[in-house]
Copies of this chain bind each other. A is one copy, B any other.
Amino acid sequence: MMPIEIRGSSFNPWDEIKLHQQKLNRQGQYGATASFVGTMRDFNEDKHVQRMTLEHYPGMTDKYLEKICKEAHQQWDLIETLIIHRIGEIKIADPIVLVCVWSAHRAEAFDACRFMMEDLKSKAPFWKQESTAAGNRWVEKSTPG
């Protein structure tokens, strides 16, 4: 299945994983599930952040996330991957990204999940603009992985 999804509104990552696992219907095959959730904080680079807007490159975003999943499946023996990424107006504590990987054994799940997040952070065409008391600012670079 390897779904990727760009979401315009808030989502609960744990409900999404639970639901996707039910749909996947591969019980007894996966022994390992590694997930990462990135969530909006109220603080970044010395400033309180009030809200955020996530811009993206429509068309390329989907294409790039699909590429990440395909590369992970080529590099490791995986059963399934799931990526969900928010766009638009983000509120404090909103989940921004979910990456989840199912595999038979744990090394593959851990390695693939981290690879996918690092690749997404460095190359997937999304941009954050934060609103602070001092005005709006574009986030210039991601935190190191």
Q: Is the interface of A mostly helix, strand, loop or mixed?
A: mixed
CB-based contact A18/B28 at 8 Å: no
A87 within 8 A of B: no
CB-based contact B37/A33 at 8 Å: yes
List of B residues within 8 angstroms of A14 by Cβ: 14-15, 17-18, 21
CB-based contact B143/A106 at 8 Å: yes
A6 within 8 A of B: no
Interface hits, A1-52 → B, CB 8 Å: 12-15, 17-18, 21, 27-43
CB-based contact B15/A43 at 8 Å: no
Interface pick from A53-61, A62-70, A109-117, A131-139: A109-117
| Candidates B28, B39, B93, B114; contact of A92 at CB < 8 Å | B28
